[in-house]
Structure 1
Amino acid sequence: MPAARFPATVVRTVDGDTLHVCDERGVTHAVRMLSIDTPETHYLGASQGYWAEKAAARLSELLPEGAEVEIQTDEQPSDAYGRVLGYVIAGDRLINRLLLEEGLAMTYIVAPNLLHAQELSEAAQRSFTSRRGMFGDPSVLLPYEFRWSLRGQSSAKLVGSLSRGEVFDLSEREQVPCWDRVFFFDVRDVKEPFVRIAPARRARGGG
């Protein structure tokens, strides 16, 4: 479905990438911020510690209770848990991008939600290469890698390169820089400009 926007008021933040908002009808929504991933404050009884708390504190600072925001959705307006999947806009600032710029989040772009993918990827690359925030701490796992290490599996099936359009098996994700990754949970979401690169083709030197 096409992207949509709705005005809302912040009720509270939960962690670095999740918050609750109240829309104009008085309905409260849990919002998972799209295309970014902050360190986990609590996942299966485990935490990523300092950087998780820092990201959560920063989101709370940026979006205090009562703050007026706009929530912009993408192709998939909600997830399996009933949360709104959205980009959070406060004034003229895209908060998703701001957390990347401050080194408090990494991109977690999932197809087909690609509305702000390019600008978010570029922000993540700048922070990663300059070792800003958590990227200056070699002990920090990417949040999704942290979750997978605890869960023993990923829901994603494939990973693509946003800049090159190539799509690989998830086990080959190191072929793609972390800021350039697009995850595919459903192979049917692999559409132009993305192209699946088969292992046999790589073995022949074709990619």
Structure 2
Amino acid sequence: MFKKFLVISVPFILILCGCSKGEISNTLEAVETGVELTESLLSTTDESNTSEDAEEVVVKYVTDGDTISFFRGGSLEVKGRLIGINAPENTSKKELLGDVSTKYLKDLIEGKKITIERDKDSTDKYGRELIHVFYDGQNINQLLVEQGLARVAYVYDDYKYIDLYKESEEIAKNERRGIWSIPNYVDEESNGYDMSVIQ
């Protein structure tokens, strides 16, 4: 099932190798000011196809592009980590495009009712629930990856939607969206990002 959905389109900006701080600053400004709402039909997993243990919760706040807090049962606050992906940091550690990824997710789901689905790994080492997130028929983990605002990472098992996330990552790579617009920024040897490429 396809649904019309307002998404934030991040410009596909290709940055040449050896970028200066000024060039990076100009690029970030272009990304942030060039963000616009567009109607998009995305190939995503319908909420009606989620597993029987899918649960509706309300998002209290978005911490960054892959971490949220939500209310369970109306009052119990729980921290959740979007499983199978990693967005640039935007908390104590600041990484390029972390603020853009955070704002994207915040605008999308903060204060909203979402559906979450757990996988084989239930929590991470910080005690956060590992979750696939759905909103208005959209798989949000996939959406972040497809927009180039997160990468596939921390895959320790055959997670339910991991093939979907990998396919979306290839789209983002090929079209140089977001994090993939900066040569060597996505560290292929780890699950993170290499800020040293920004001079």
Which residue in 1 is equivalent to 2:94?
A: 47
Which residue in 2 is equivalent to 1:131?
A: 176
CA distance in 2, matches of 1:31, 1:14: 10
Structure-2 change in CA distance of 1:119 and 1:101 (3 Å): same
- Where in structure 2 are the equivalents of 1:49-88 lying within 5 Å? 49=96, 51-65=97-111, 67-88=112-133
Please give the TM-score of this superposition, normalised by the length of structure 1: 0.63
CA distance in 1, matches of 2:172, 2:56: 30
Which one-letter code corresponds to 1:9 in the other structure? Answer: V
CA distance in 1, matches of 2:100, 2:181: 14
Which residue in 2 is equivalent to 1:24?
A: 73
- Where in structure 2 are the equivalents of 1:156-195 lying within 5 Å? none
Tell me the CA shift for residue 120 of structure 1: 0.6
Tell me the CA shift for residue 141 of structure 1: 3.4
Please tell me whether the aligned partners of residues 83 and 130 of structure 2 are also in contact (alpha carbons under 8 angstroms): yes
Which residue in 1 is equivalent to 2:136?
A: 91
Tell me the CA shift for residue 146 of structure 1: 3.6
CA distance in 2, matches of 1:145, 1:37: 7
Q: Which of 156, 165, 168 is matched with 1:120 structurally?
A: 165
Structure-2 change in CA distance of 1:117 and 1:109 (3 Å): farther
CA distance in 2, matches of 1:115, 1:32: 16
Coordinate RMSD, CA, aligned: 2.2
Which one-letter code corresponds to 1:20 in the other structure? Answer: S
Please tell me whether the aligned partners of residues 3 and 73 of structure 1 are also in contact (alpha carbons under 8 angstroms): no
Matched residue count: 143
Give SS of 1:141's match.
coil
Give SS of 1:10's match.
strand
Structure 2 gap segments, 5+ residues each? 1-50
CA distance in 2, matches of 1:126, 1:146: 19
CA distance in 2, matches of 1:38, 1:119: 17
Give SS of 1:115's match.
coil
Which residue in 1 is equivalent to 2:149?
A: 104
Tell me the CA shift for residue 113 of structure 1: 4.8
Which residue in 1 is equivalent to 2:185?
A: 140
Which one-letter code corresponds to 2:54 in the other structure? Answer: R
Q: Which runs of 4+ in 1 moved over 3 A?
A: none
Please tell me whether the aligned partners of residues 76 and 113 of structure 1 are also in contact (alpha carbons under 8 angstroms): no
Which residue in 1 is equivalent to 2:39?
A: none
Q: Which of 82, 87, 96 is matched with 1:38 structurally?
A: 87
Give SS of 2:152's match.
strand
Please tell me whether the aligned partners of residues 31 and 83 of structure 1 are also in contact (alpha carbons under 8 angstroms): yes
Tell me the CA shift for residue 3 of structure 1: 7.7
Please give the TM-score of this superposition, normalised by the length of structure 2: 0.66
Give SS of 2:55's match.
strand
Tell me the CA shift for residue 139 of structure 1: 5.7
Which one-letter code corresponds to 2:109 in the other structure? Answer: L
Identity across the alignment (%): 24
